[in-house]
Amino acid sequence: MPSPSLRKFKSAVDAYATKLADESAQIRDLKALEELRHQFLSRKRGAVTLLFEELKTLKPEEKPVAGQMINALKKEVQEKLAALEAKLETPVEVKKEIDLTLPGEERYWGAPHPIRLFQQEIENIFLSMGFSIEEGPEIETDYYNFEALNFPPQHPARDDWDTLYITDKLLLRTHTSPVQIRVMEKKKPPIRIIIPGKVFRHETPDPTHLPMFFQVEGLVVDEGITFANLKGTIEHFIKRLLGEKIKIRFRPSFFPFTEPSAEVDIECLACGAKDPACRICGGSGWKEILGSGMVDPQVFKNVNIDPEKYSGWAFGMGIDRTAMFALGIPDMRYFFENDLRFIRQFYLK
Ligand SMILES: [Zn+2]
């Protein structure tokens, strides 16, 4: 039977062995491994050194047994450390000190594009008047883009729409009007919708033309709809979008899908109709912003709506072009060059 002092010594050695097992299981890097090595093998305060100090207090006949216990522990520690070191081949990562005196990093949240913001303003005005929003495909058939809208094949008015064809019958829509047809095929009057979306034309980019741009169209179909409804609604819309005091005029025009048709001009916001050399209005003092008219009875026949019973009006407006005019931007290409210095100014406003 070992003496009480030797039993006490053994339990101290066992406690270190347990500690070694527990702590070595937590080791994830070489830095921690070095700490463990220090804890057990440091010449001044290491566990092995402390045990040898303790050994001196034992009786001479107990010392050899106790010494074997220490050496066994020491061997276990060395083997454990060597095994861990082999496993942890990656070098110790040196953590960067955080320097609180450096200026902070400025971070921006994502935000809607200025065209999207302008589109939302337009949508909100029409939503408040009881309109709903409709969307449709950007790749269209010739039928929906032209024929159903009263442009028969070979019609000269097709030349005004510089179309990007995919095949003989498929094209990138040149206006959002095909959605009017798609909606009227499915829904019966009353219809009050706007259709915002991307459209495509075969254009070389310049300050006022792009091969892709945004349009919004509106369509109202019901019994007893007149040109007075068209005029009142369009005037209300433009005033809410661009200001109560803006001057508006309706000018006769032609579109294959409306009869009668009118283009709508507003006074030039760039020069206030005062500069004969104005680049925006060409000195006329007026700027065309949208096309409109009463839906042609033939278009109603194409979608099986009785033109004797129902009438309606429609309009179409370029969103980018109007945004450009309203925000005083000289070149439409700025919107899509993705220069954050340009784009952010509208968001941060
Ligand atoms: Zn002008």
Distance 169 CA to ligand 1 centre (A): 41
Distance 324 CA to ligand 1 centre (A): 13
Question: Is residue 129 exposed (0-12), middle (13-18) or buried (19+ Cβ within 10 Å)?
Answer: middle
Instruction: Give the three-class secondary structure for 218.
Output: strand
Residue 96 φ/ψ, nearest 5 degrees: -75, 135
How many angstroms separate the CA atoms of 94 and 67, rounded?
39
Range scoring the smallest mean pLDDT among 94-98, 116-120, 176-180, 219-223? 94-98
Query: What CA–CA distances, in Å, run from 7 to 21, 70, 117, 319?
Result: 21, 14, 82, 91
How many angstroms separate the CA atoms of 233 and 134, rounded?
18
pLDDT digits (tens, 9 = 90+) for 72-114: 999 999 998 888 888 886 555 556 677 888 888 877 777 788 8
Other beta carbons less than 10 A from residue 124's beta carbon: 12
| Sign of the dihedral defined by the CA atoms of residues 112, 118, 122, 128, in that order | positive
Spell out where the chain has E strands: 132-133, 139-141, 164-165, 170-172, 191-200, 212-222, 248-255, 258-267, 286-295, 311-318
Q: What's the pLDDT at 238?
A: 95
The tokens for 349 are: 């406003």
Distance 267 CA to ligand 1 centre (A): 8
Distance 277 CA to ligand 1 centre (A): 8
Distance 253 CA to ligand 1 centre (A): 22
Distance 318 CA to ligand 1 centre (A): 18
Distance 335 CA to ligand 1 centre (A): 21
Distance 266 CA to ligand 1 centre (A): 10
Distance 249 CA to ligand 1 centre (A): 15
Distance 53 CA to ligand 1 centre (A): 98
pLDDT digits (tens, 9 = 90+) for 280-312: 788 899 989 999 999 999 999 999 999 999 999
